[in-house]
């Protein structure tokens, strides 16, 4: 059935997917790729990302190789729910809990990593960036998979990110096991990256969520 679906709707390793209401069969094909230590490209709110099982050393290494990304640069991961932080992060500071109101969507929170998470996923930093996705395809993908997947942008290291699968580097198109094509995305900046392992919290990169919005949340407690 999977082969028939691919051949009838797509070219090569591309599968078209409804960006607003992805069907279970296509998401199921993507989850099987993740479960078999594969690598796929999928849509997020603004840009396409590269997904792999965050607990699979083999799959994570492939992500680094496909992106030409230095191994000392950590990969952010996407989670189905806040409850899934257990087993992934060492602890959640009290002051960080209020920031959860900004999820799902454009903010990545950096925590100290839990034991058992592959060093490759964290780049050996001892920290891990986490986000809950808002895009319907990314959301359904990670919920169906039932665990953390990488959410790094689908670009070669140092090159622009892609808001359309037609803009993907040829290396990524050839080496990804599956590409979920949801059409052109919104583009724009990536997620805001906020380190909550320290107080005051530290904005590593301002993106979709403004520093002002973060400070307003923290003031309210």
Domains of the chain: 2-86+118-189 (3.90.870.10)
Q: How far apart are alpha carbons 112 and 122 in whole angstroms?
A: 10
What three-state secondary structure class fits 79? coil
The dihedrals phi and psi of 28, each to the nearest 5 degrees, come to: -60, -40
Q: Before 202, cis peptide (omega within 30)?
A: no
For the chain, 221 residues long, give each residue's pLDDT as a single digit of tens: 334 344 333 446 999 999 999 999 999 999 999 999 999 999 998 999 999 999 999 999 999 999 999 999 999 999 999 999 999 999 999 999 999 999 998 999 999 999 999 999 999 999 999 999 999 999 999 999 999 999 999 999 999 999 999 999 999 999 999 999 999 999 988 899 999 999 999 999 999 999 999 999 998 86
User: What pLDDT is recorded for position 3?
Assistant: 41
Q: Which residues pair with 77 in a beta bridge?
A: 130, 150
Output b/e per residue, 49-78; b: 16+ Cβ within 10 A: bbbbbbbbeebbbbbbebbebeeeebbbbb
Pairing of the two strands 40-43 and 48-51:
antiparallel
User: What pLDDT is recorded for position 12?
Assistant: 62
User: What pLDDT is recorded for position 188?
Assistant: 85
The dihedrals phi and psi of 202, each to the nearest 5 degrees, come to: -120, 125
> Where would I find the H helices in 1-135?
2-9, 24-35, 57-67, 94-97, 119-122
- Only one residue has tokens 């230095």, namely 70
Q: Which residues pair with 89 in a beta bridge?
A: 86, 113
User: What pLDDT is recorded for position 14?
Assistant: 94
User: What pLDDT is recorded for position 10?
Assistant: 41
């Amino acid at each position: 059935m999977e082969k028939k679906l691919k051949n009838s709707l797509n070219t090569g390793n591309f599968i078209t997917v409804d960006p607003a209401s992805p069907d279970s069969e296509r998401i199921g094909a993507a989850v099987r790729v993740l479960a078999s230590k594969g690598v796929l490209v999928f849509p997020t709110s603004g840009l396409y990302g590269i997904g792999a099982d965050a607990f699979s050393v083999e799959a994570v290494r492939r992500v680094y190789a496909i992106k030409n990304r230095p191994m000392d640069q950590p990969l952010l991961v996407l989670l189905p729910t806040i409850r899934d932080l257990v087993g992934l992060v060492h602890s959640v500071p009290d002051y960080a809990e209020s920031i959860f109101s900004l999820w799902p969507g454009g903010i990545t929170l950096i925590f100290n990593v839990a034991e058992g998470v592959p060093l490759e996923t964290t780049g050996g930093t001892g920290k891990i960036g986490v986000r809950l996705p808002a895009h319907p395809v990314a959301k359904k993908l990670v919920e169906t998979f039932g665990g953390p997947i990488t959410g790094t942008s689908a670009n070669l290291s140092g090159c622009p990110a892609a808001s359309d699968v037609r803009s993907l580097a040829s290396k990524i198109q050839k080496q990804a096991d599956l590409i979920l094509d949801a059409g052109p995305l919104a583009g724009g900046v990536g997620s805001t990256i906020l380190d909550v392992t320290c107080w005051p919290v530290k904005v590593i990169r301002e993106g979709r969520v403004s520093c002002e919005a973060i400070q307003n949340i923290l003031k309210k407690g």
